[in-house]
Amino acid sequence: MTTRSEPRPYLNPYLAGALLGLVLFLAFFFTGGGLGASGALSHVQAGIEKWFAPGHVDRVAYLADMAGGRRNSWDNSGVYMLVGTLLGGLASGLLHRRARLEIRKGPRVSNGARLALAFAGGVVMAYGARMARGCTSGQALSGGAVLAVGSWAFMFAVFGGGYAVAWFLRRLWT
Amino acid sequence: MAPFDVNGLAGTVGYALAFGAIGFGFGAVLEMAGFGDTRKLAAQFYLTEMTVLKVMFTAIAVAAVLLALASGFGLLDMSRVFVNPTFLPSEILGGLIMGVGFVLGGFCPGTSLVAASTLKIDGMLFVLGGLAGVFLFGESVGSYEPFWLSGNLGRFTLPEWLGLSTGLTVLLVVLLALTAFLAAEAIERRFGPARASVRRRPRLAWAGAGVLLAAGLVLAARGDPGPEQRWRWLPAAIRQQVAERAVLASPAEVVALRKDTALRVEMLDLRSEHDFNLFHVGGAERVTRADLTTPARLRRLLEAPPSTITFLADNGEGPALEVWKDLRSRGVANLYVLEGGMNRWLELYPVPDCVATRGPGPLGGAPEYRFLYATGDSLPASWPELPRSRAFRLPCATAVVSGGEGAGEYLWPNHAYTRRVKPQVKAVVKGGCG
């Protein structure tokens, strides 16, 4: 591997945080809402489900809210933001030579186990995010910045839940 | 004044592009912070690297300071900004579940998108798992909906909870963040590999901390803007409404609206308890200006459905107009002032002479009707929208009211009025995760 294709180092976390804060502020300033990711996942999922079971989508209140009847689940600000997030991540990854097909994992975990756990983690994470009405971006970041009480409680709960199980799952990461 | 009405753009390419651009910045910054690498995220829970805490808390502090500055200087109307409603039970349980998922899968939803977009296979699997997770939620939430909807505190912010000004709360957030950063650096020195980030560029970090702290101090020292200041920041068109008397609705219009069953008409009576007891409009609520600006009360006014029309009443108009300006500058919509106040109401819908007589002077800001006893809302004049008020016990046998067809019956004339009330639907802002 030559030095030319070596991935560039990551940004200083405080600088990255300040930039993220600026993006978050601009989102609020221009659109009146913050950032988000998990809400868009719901819209994508409801949109997919509607292809297969439109009647079912109409009957479940939570789904009907997004995709019921003539509602278009895809035409949603969160979905546009999700597409932007993917493109932004890809652009920065290409620019900093970090976009490459690979698996990142802890040192003691096999590839298969990592992928299975990533999927399982995604299931658990997204389930919790919908229950909490937002993920780390939509609740902790956005709600934290506008000083919502529930978002701060949520943030401490996420860290609390993580630290509570970290010791038991230490084989995964250390 | 910001935020801008993006809902007006809905369905256009511009709408998609605006949110796409915000997402682009979001994704790019997450990637630059290293959040596409699951090891960097998981390290947070093993204390070897505190990047997650540093980035998140910096972002929250910077955004909170910028938001408070923008709203404190009249550039941003916070009442139109989405604040995640507080549902403590589901938020705390959901947060705990997410914490477990974080350690299991090594991402949160936003960071998994960035990992997937930079071709990390584990990130792609996490996104697929996320789709499965939202599917499971959609299918199962119905079985425990009461829990999911429990503890709804609506728009509830830390300044309201702590009883502090927004500026002071933001200063506390900054101080909390800086303390957490010091702790994070100490933890990294203790548990992490010897390359703590602040040592790489200490000057920049200290300068940033200084700027945040200074901004927090300025915000705390300034306090929240007063009513006069907020009023001056309003668009000229709204201030013009007062000059053109467009916010003053005749009692006759109030009566007409009270007949409309599709509307909810609220009458907030700002007079003293004494005047209120002597006579008030049926269903009116006596409030003081201080009552109306308490956080809980203000939230009720702000979250009222668009079919609610609220009127402010005083003896005259002056004090009610001041309260109108105050509430309007805080974002309350569908709010009007009773034209001519309760004096004008009693002129249009009089009570019998044996109950109250009108003073000699012209109608002004003081109560012009002398009541012999307190009537509350027991007289037909309190409920003129009821066409024939047979049910009322008449105070004196000889009562004859203008327009009445005979003794014992009240039939109010239909007074002419200029239509001033135009119910407005307030744009609903939803958050990215909504």
Give the model confidence (pLDDT) of B319-365 as tens digits.
888 899 888 888 888 899 998 888 889 888 888 878 888 877 666 66
Question: DSSP character for A136?
Answer: I
Q: How far apart are CA A124 and CA B253, in angstroms?
A: 56
Indicate if the pLDDT at residue B403 is higher than 60.
no
Question: DSSP character for B415?
Answer: -
Q: How far apart are CA B311 and CA B319, in angstroms?
A: 13
Which amino acid is present at B71? S
pTM exceeds 0.90, yes or no: no
Indicate if the pLDDT at residue B393 is higher than 70.
no
| Angle, helix B88-105 to helix A111-131, in steps of 10 degrees | 170
Of B62-71, B323-332, B399-408, the range with the highest mean pLDDT is: B62-71
- Residues in chain A where the model's pLDDT stays below 50: 1-2
Three-state DSSP state, B326: helix
Q: What percent of chain B has pLDDT over 90?
A: 34
Judged by CB atoms closer than 8 Å, whether chains meet at A93 and B119 is answered as yes
What are the residues whose beta carbons fall under 8 Å from the beta carbon of B211, sequence distance 6 or more? none
Number of Cβ pairs closer than 8 Å across A and B? Answer: 610
Whether the Cβ atoms of residue B266 and residue B292 lie closer than 8 Å to each other: no
Whether the Cβ atoms of residue B159 and residue A139 lie closer than 8 Å to each other: no
Indicate if the pLDDT at residue B413 is higher than 60.
yes
Judged by CB atoms closer than 8 Å, whether chains meet at A133 and B85 is answered as yes
Q: Which of B51, B98, B168, B176 to probe by mutation at the A interface, max A CB count within 10 Å?
A: B98
Where, residue-wise, is CATH 3.40.250.10 in chain B? 236-410
Whether the Cβ atoms of residue B314 and residue B288 lie closer than 8 Å to each other: no
pLDDT of residue B230: 80
Question: Edge-to-edge strands of the sheet including B308-313?
Answer: B248-249, B335-338, B308-313, B264-269, B285-286
In order, the DSSP letters of B145-156 are HHHHTTTEEES-
A40 interface with B at CB cutoff 8 Å: yes
Indicate if the pLDDT at residue B404 is higher than 50.
no
**Distance to chain B for A164, nearest Cα, Å:** 8
Strand partners, B249: B338
Judged by CB atoms closer than 8 Å, whether chains meet at B59 and A115 is answered as no
pLDDT of residue B432: 43
What are the residues whose beta carbons fall under 8 Å from the beta carbon of B315, sequence distance 6 or more? B271, B275, B341, B342, B343, B364, B365, B366, B367, B368
Q: How far apart are CA A61 and CA B337, in angstroms?
A: 40
CATH class of the domain defined by B236-410: alpha beta
Q: Give the confidence band of B409 by pLDDT, cuts at 50, 70, 90.
A: low
Give the model confidence (pLDDT) of B120-160 as tens digits.
999 999 999 999 999 899 889 889 989 998 988 888 899 98
pLDDT of residue B390: 52
**Distance to chain A for B106, nearest Cα, Å:** 7
Q: How far apart are CA A14 and CA A26, in angstroms?
A: 18
CB burial string A74-90: b at 16+ within 10 A, e below:
eebbbbbbbbbbbbbbb
- In B244-395, which ranges are continuous DSSP H helix? 251-258, 273-278, 289-292, 295-302, 318-329, 341-348
Q: Give the confidence band of B195 by pLDDT, cuts at 50, 70, 90.
A: low
Q: Give the confidence band of B176 by pLDDT, cuts at 50, 70, 90.
A: very high
> Looking at the partner chain, which of B26, B95, B114 has a beta carbon nearest the beta carbon of A161?
B95
Closest CA relative to residue A24, chosen from B178, B291, B431: B431
Q: What residues of chain B lie within 8 A of the CB of A112, using their CB? A: none
Q: Give the confidence band of B113 by pLDDT, cuts at 50, 70, 90.
A: very high
Whether the Cβ atoms of residue A138 and residue B433 lie closer than 8 Å to each other: yes
Indicate if the pLDDT at residue B100 is higher than 70.
yes
**Distance to chain B for A29, nearest Cα, Å:** 5
> Looking at the partner chain, which of B19, B114, B142 has a beta carbon nearest the beta carbon of A77?
B19
Q: Give the ipTM of the model, two decimals please.
A: 0.93
Q: How far apart are CA B265 and CA B263, in angstroms?
A: 6
Give the model confidence (pLDDT) of B1-44 as tens digits.
677 777 777 778 888 898 999 999 999 999 999 998 898 899 99
CB burial string B344-379: b at 16+ within 10 A, e below:
bbbebbbbbeebbeeeeeebeeebbbebeeebeeeb
Q: What percent of chain B has pLDDT over 70?
A: 88
Strand partners, A113: none
A6 interface with B at CB cutoff 8 Å: no
- In Å, how far are B59, B85, B139, B187 from A133, measured between CA atoms? 20, 9, 15, 32
